[in-house]
Amino acid sequence: MAGSDDIPFGEQPDFGEQPDALEQELQRHGLQRDGLIEILTCAQRQHGWLSPTVLTTIATRLQLPLSQVLGTASFYHLFRFEPPLPHRCLVCTGTACHVLGAPLLLAALREESLPQRGMELGEVRCIGSCSGAPLVVIDGQVLNHQSPASALRAVRSMATTQP
């Protein structure tokens, strides 16, 4: 997605980012705990997920108990504690998408055993471009007006390409 800077959904981890991006973010917040969510977002963007090592590092640097860091991180849907698969397909389940057939898309995609082919299947609660409903987001790219058949075509072409 063009210009996406902070979005943890559907985005591939930016391994090319400077290795000290996390350290810079910690410094930007003056090692203060109110920056925790932004710092976690930065760490997840860098590594693709929040590993125990990363969480421990953040806790130590902010002088917070690990339980508090994990407690905050686990509260929010967009933080993840397992490494991501190469591809990600999100079905929008907002109201407009729901009434226009999102449940059918989800049902069709669930049949596909996508994880075995390197693609996660998830849901997102409205990305606010409902005129394209029902829509799916594959690796950050929005595909409007999907039918079960077109969504299957899209994931099949993606799930076979390695990143």
For residues 5-24, which are near other proteins according to CB under 8 A? Answer: 5-9
Which residue has tokens 């079905």? Answer: 91
In the bound complex, what is the minimum distance in angstroms from residue 24's beta carbon to other proteins?
Answer: 16
In the bound complex, what is the minimum distance in angstroms from residue 22's beta carbon to other proteins?
Answer: 16
Interaction of residue 146 with other proteins, rule CB under 8 A? no
The single residue among 95, 147, 157, 160 that binds other proteins, judged by CB under 8 A, is 95
In the bound complex, what is the minimum distance in angstroms from residue 162's beta carbon to other proteins?
Answer: 25
Query: For residues 22 and 39, what is the distance between their CA atoms, to the nearest angstrom?
Result: 7
User: Which region among 13-21, 89-97, 108-116, 149-157 touches other proteins (by CB under 8 A)?
Assistant: 89-97
Bridge partners (DSSP) listed for residue 136 = 91, 143
- Residue 12 is classified by DSSP as P
Provide the token pair at 149. 């058949």
In the bound complex, what is the minimum distance in angstroms from residue 36's beta carbon to other proteins?
Answer: 4
Cα–Cα–Cα angle for 127, 90, 121, nearest 5°?
160
Which residue has tokens 């799930």? Answer: 159
Interaction of residue 158 with other proteins, rule CB under 8 A? no
Interaction of residue 37 with other proteins, rule CB under 8 A? yes
Please state, as a whole number, how many other Cβ atoms lie within 10 Å of the Cβ of residue 133: 20
- Supply φ then ψ for residue 85, to 5 degrees: -80, 165
Residues making contact with other proteins (CB under 8 A): 1-9, 32-38, 40-41, 71-72, 75-79, 93-96, 98-100, 124-133, 135, 142-144
